[in-house]
Amino acid sequence: MLDDFGVRVQESVFELWLREEDWEVLEARLAPLLAEGVGEVRFYPLCRSCRQKVRRMGTQEGAPAFERPSVIIL
C-alpha cells in the first residue's frame, strides 16, 4: 500500500512524496489496518529546508531521480 505513494528503502522504511490530498487518502487506507491493533505507523514529515539536505548514496530502483521525500515512514 505505501508503495503507491513512494518507495521502500528498507524492510519497514518508506520515503513518500505526499501532496496535502494524499495525506487523507493514505490515512483512510491505513485506518482499518491499524484499528485491528496490529502495529503502528510513524510519520516524519520533512520541511522544505530539510528536504534540500537529504543525501542519497547508491541507487534505489523506483525512486524518482530528482525528487526528495516529503515524508519518511518507519
Domains held by the chain: number: 1
Domain span at residue 22? 2-59+66-73
SS3 25: helix
Note the pLDDT tens digit of each residue in 28-39: 999 988 887 777
pTM value is 0.68
**How far apart are the C-alpha atoms of 65 and 60, rounded to whole Å?**
9
| Distance (Å, whole) CA 69 – CA 56 | 11
Confidence of residue 43 (pLDDT cuts 50, 70, 90): confident
